[in-house]
Structure 1
Amino acid sequence: MNKKHHKVNAFVLADSLVALTILVMVLTWLAMCENQLKIQREKMSTTLRIVRLAKESSDGLSHHRQRFIRNDYPYKAIATPYRVTVMRGTQVLWEESS
């Protein structure tokens, strides 16, 4: 083979490697973005569940009752006339005072 043919093959190989590298980088970036969206969706779903539980427990509080407790495993909401607290075990996840 002549030298010109070797140079063309080397250029095609280098060009293919650059294209493959870019493709791998793009696919990796897309996979990372998809994973972040999944994490964000789960976090927002959990937050919505916690806030909804707090609202339901405050709605269950009547004027005659001093305390209302609502369980929704693994969360527990405690409503008093002055405060609503949502907990998981002993950890306070959300609290609002009136």
Structure 2
Amino acid sequence: MSKIKHTTAPWHVGSPDKFIVRGPNGYPVCDVTFSDDFPGISEANSRLISAAPELLEALQGMVDIWITTCTTNGWDPAHLSQYQSALSAIAKVTGSQI
């Protein structure tokens, strides 16, 4: 997998009223704009963004397991739509190509 180029985990929502996602030692990663027109959306987006490093790590782990399992059993993981979706998502995050 690609070398990590983003702020290391864990990330968390810095305060419930400002929706600033922060990394280790309070380093700001992202400031989610609050909108009165869409209550709850800013908080939900902040939570999703703050989970991004753990989601990426989990997805990369799943891909590694698929590859190992398929190789061990003589299968080709390329036919699994979830495998292709996972590779696409990882490429989007890391800026790599599938």
Please, what TM-score do these two structures have when normalized by structure 2? Answer: 0.33
The structure having more radius of gyration, on CA atoms, is 1
Higher relative contact order, structure no. (Cα contacts within 8 Å, ≥ 6 residues apart): 2
Higher strand share: 1
Please, what TM-score do these two structures have when normalized by structure 1? Answer: 0.33
